[in-house]
Amino acid sequence: MSHRVVITGLGAVMPNGNNPEEYRDSLLAGRSGVGPVTLFDPATLPTRIAAEVKWPGELTEGTDRKMCFAAEAARQAFAQAGSSGSAPRGGGRLALGVGLEIYDIAAWAETKKPGFEMPQEHAERMKFVHMPSDLSAHLISDQYGFDAPPLVMISTCAAGLDAIGSAFREVASGRSQWMMAGGTDTGINTMGMTAHCKLGTMSTR
């Protein structure tokens, strides 16, 4: 049996808008989110511009920016879904897309410095060794009380769309009553930008 699927809430954290309304207005006005790279020094690269998210707060959800983006977009979507007075509950599941599954670059670099010691607390140690997408998925699943294991897609540029498509199929088939779905990533770092410069996919204009 095929169930009707509807979208009841949206969330967006983008280079040209930190919520769906700002993002929509930027698109309609033709405002780009591209500008000089500020997250690291790109002086040795042929490309020194990128579309950075202008994140206004601290990195409250771990040390990786993609976790903050995922948590904030989820918060916006869930709030909108419950704005009519009836929030979704029970039978939910998360589908999360992440472009590349890599450790936090800054944290990884710290392990190579003389005198580095792993965190002693068990919880902090587990946070350190887990991949950011693992932490993002479980952070959101725990916060919204999902009662099924999260679906995590690691498929580069198609990851977010894969997650949304998977969520559609879960609801349409009746396997899940409702889904939270989307994608998150942070590719503006030395490894990510160097790789794309080597591939010739970055603009030098």
pLDDT attached to residue 137: 86
DSSP alpha helix (H) spans, the chain: 20-29, 65-81, 105-110, 122-129, 132-144, 159-173, 190-199
Nearest alpha carbon to residue 184 among 74, 21, 63, 43:
74
What pTM did the predictor assign? 0.83
Cβ(153)–Cβ(101) below 8 Å: no
10-residue mean pLDDT series, the chain (205 residues): 90 96 97 94 94 79 77 94 81 88 59 68 58 76 89 90 96 94 89 89 89
pLDDT attached to residue 116: 67
Q: Which residues pair with 14 in a beta bridge?
A: 17
Question: How many residues comprise the chain?
Answer: 205
